[in-house]
């Protein structure tokens, strides 16, 4: 990999970590795993974690958060222009997460009105409908998760440092769940487990603890939403609730449109 921003003696590839609108979850995961990366990279930008931050070209930029305001968009465009690999990290950046899920129910302006009241207008001028990065710029790699799984993050970085595209599974959570030999909470406890339509990566965290998957990793490849809805309805969940759960983490927007009615 070319050390695009390589300055002087330091030939290590460069990385940057940036946040748009999110909860800083990925920033935290990356911060916590930085000691493993430091021998192999030079961190040129990471405002969450350090004060001396450089501008200019970078090899890999990890971006957390959704585009939810004009400020985010300007920043994202700057990032795109300066990085070779743009990696969307986290459900916010890949799917839009909860703030995008909420758009199924009402528009951003309505929400601002409701939350900020009289001060709404100045905020509304800045705000945009929350959207994942790829609705605005080209994204090279998408690593979902809320938050991302640390070992997946390290594997993705390892691939990119070799200049290879990483392999990211988009099989359903059920696979990991069965590999861990968990009793199925959807079958045994009638919990509204979204494992069948959610992308694996977490290691089937929730079902392994006896709880229902609530879809925080975003949808798997071609989620069978129709079948999922049918099954949950048969278990006595009301349509309204099922749609609420399916859309909560921002992913399954087509279903959300039905919810808007």
Partner 1 sequence: MLSPTYFLPKERFPDFLNALKSLGQVFAPVKVSKQSYSFKAVEKASEIAFEALRTILPPKKFFYPQSETLVKFEDGEIKECIEEPVFKVIFGVHPCDLAGLGIMDTIFEDSPGDTHYLRKRRTSMIIGLSCMPDKHCFCQSMGTDCPEKGYDVFLTDIEDGYFIEGKSSQGQKLLADAFADKVLERAREAHKDRYKRFWLDRSEAFETGFKVDNLRSTMDLEWENPVWEELGDRCLSCGNCTPVCPTCYCFDLVDVAALSSKQDGSGDAERRREWDSCQFVGFAKVAGDYNFRPGPVDRLKFWYRHKLHGFDDAYGFKTCVGCGRCTVSCPSGIDDIVKVVNILQVARQEKDEGQPK
Partner 2 sequence: MIPGKTPYLSVKGTIRSIVPMAQDNYLFDFTERTGSLSGCRPGQFVELWVPGVGECPISVCSGRVSESIQLMVRRAGRVTSALFNMSEGDSVGLRGPYGQGFPMEAFKGRDLVMVAGGLGVAPIRSVWQYALDHREEFGRLVLIYGMRHTNDILFRQEFKFLLRRRDIDIFIAAEEVVGPALPPIAMQLGRVTDLLRQAEISSDSCVAVCGPPVMYKYVIDVLKERNVDEANIHLSLERHMKCGIGKCGHCFIGGKFNCKAGPVFALPEIKHVPEAIECDAASLQGGLE
Partner 3 sequence: MAEIKKSTIVIPEVTRVEGHSAVTVDILDGKVENVKLDVFEGTRYFEKIVVGHKYDEMAHLTSRICAICSTGHVLASIFAIENLLGYKADEKTTLLRELMHLGMIIESHATHLCALVLPDFLGVEDLISFADKHKEEFALWTFLRTLGNDVQYMVGGRSFHPVNLHVFKLSSHPSGEALNVMAHRLKDAREKALYLAQVFLDLKLPAIPSFEPEYLALDYDSPTYGYFGTRVKSSKSWLRSIEEYRDYLGEYPVAYSHAKKSGNAAQPFMVGAIARLRFHSEKLGREARQLFLSSELAKGSCNTMLNNLAQSIELVEAVYRAQAICETLLQIEEDEKASPGEARNENETNIDRLLDKLPGAAVGAVECPRGTLYHYYDLDEKGVVRAADLITPSAQNTQRIESDIRNTVEARIAEVEDGARQALLQADLETLVRAYDPCNTCATHAVSIRVAKR
- Token look-up 């939403």 returns 225
SS3 (DSSP) at 198? strand
Rounded Cα–Cα distance for residues 132 and 66 (Å) = 5
Q: Which of 38, 106, 125, 165 binds partner 2 (CB under 8 A)?
A: 165
- The conformation of residue 21, written as its DSSP 8-state character, comes to B
Q: Which two structure tokens, joined as six digits, stand for 171?
A: 């099989």
Core vs surface per residue 235-246: b (16+ CB within 10 A) or e: eebeeeebbbbb
Looking at 79-87, 96-104, 117-125, 182-190, which segment touches partner 1 (CB under 8 A)?
Answer: 182-190
Q: Which helix (H) or strand (E) holds 115?
A: helix 108-116
Q: Which of 5, 14, 42, 174 binds partner 3 (CB under 8 A)?
A: 42
Rounded Cα–Cα distance for residues 259 and 247 (Å) = 9
* 33 contacts partner 2 (rule: CB under 8 A): no
The DSSP result for 36-80, as a single string, is HHTTT-EEEE-TTT-S----S-EEEEEEESBEEEHHHHHHHHHHH
* 31 contacts partner 3 (rule: CB under 8 A): yes
Task: State which of positions 50-89 bind partner 2 (CB under 8 A).
Answer: none
Closest to partner 1 by CB, 69 or 149: 149
Q: Which two structure tokens, joined as six digits, stand for 191?
A: 């919990």
* 88 contacts ligand SF4 (rule: CB under 6 A): no
The DSSP result for 156-183, as a single string, is HHHHHHTT-PPP----BHHHHHHHTTPP
* 163 contacts partner 2 (rule: CB under 8 A): yes
What residues make contact with partner 1 under the rule CB under 8 A? Answer: 1, 12-13, 36-37, 39-40, 154-155, 157-159, 161-164, 167, 170-172, 174-175, 178-179, 181-184, 186-188, 193, 195-197, 221-222, 224, 226-228, 230-231
What residues make contact with ligand SF4 under the rule CB under 6 A? Answer: 22-23, 25-26, 64-65, 90-92, 97, 146-147, 173-174, 177-178, 182, 184-186, 193, 195-196, 198, 202, 204-207, 213-217
What residues make contact with partner 3 under the rule CB under 8 A? Answer: 19-25, 27-28, 31-32, 34-35, 38, 42-43, 46-53, 65-66, 68-69, 71-72, 97-99, 101-102, 105-106, 108, 110-112, 114-120, 122-123, 126-127, 130, 146-147, 205-206, 208-211, 214, 216, 238, 240-241, 244-245, 248
């Amino acid at each position: 990999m070319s050390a695009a921003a390589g300055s002087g003696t330091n030939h290590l590839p460069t990385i940057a970590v940036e946040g748009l609108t999110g909860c800083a979850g990925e920033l935290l995961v990356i911060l916590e795993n930085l000691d493993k990366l430091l021998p192999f990279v030079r961190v040129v930008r990471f405002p969450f974690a350090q004060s001396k931050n450089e501008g200019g070209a970078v090899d890999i930029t990890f971006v957390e958060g959704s585009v939810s305001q004009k400020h985010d968009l300007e920043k994202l465009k700057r990032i795109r222009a300066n990085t070779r690999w743009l990696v969307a990290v986290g459900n916010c950046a890949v799917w839009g997460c909860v703030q995008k899920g909420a758009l199924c129910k009402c528009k951003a302006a309505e929400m601002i009105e409701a939350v900020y009241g009289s001060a709404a207008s100045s905020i509304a001028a800045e705000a945009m409908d929350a959207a994942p990065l790829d609705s605005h710029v080209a994204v090279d790699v998408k690593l979902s998760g809320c938050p991302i799984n640390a070992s997946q993050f390290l594997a993705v970085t390892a691939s990119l440092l070799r200049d290879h595209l990483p392999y990211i599974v988009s099989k359903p959570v059920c696979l990991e769940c069965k590999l861990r030999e968990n009793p199925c909470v959807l079958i045994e406890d009638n919990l509204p487990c979204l494992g069948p339509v959610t992308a694996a990566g977490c290691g089937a965290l929730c079902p392994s603890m006896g709880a229902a998957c609530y879809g925080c990793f975003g949808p798997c490849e071609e989620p069978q939403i129709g079948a999922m809805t049918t099954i949950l309805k048969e278990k006595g969940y009301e349509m309204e609730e099922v749609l609420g759960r399916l859309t909560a983490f921002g992913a399954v927007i087509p279903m959300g449109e039905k919810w808007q009615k």
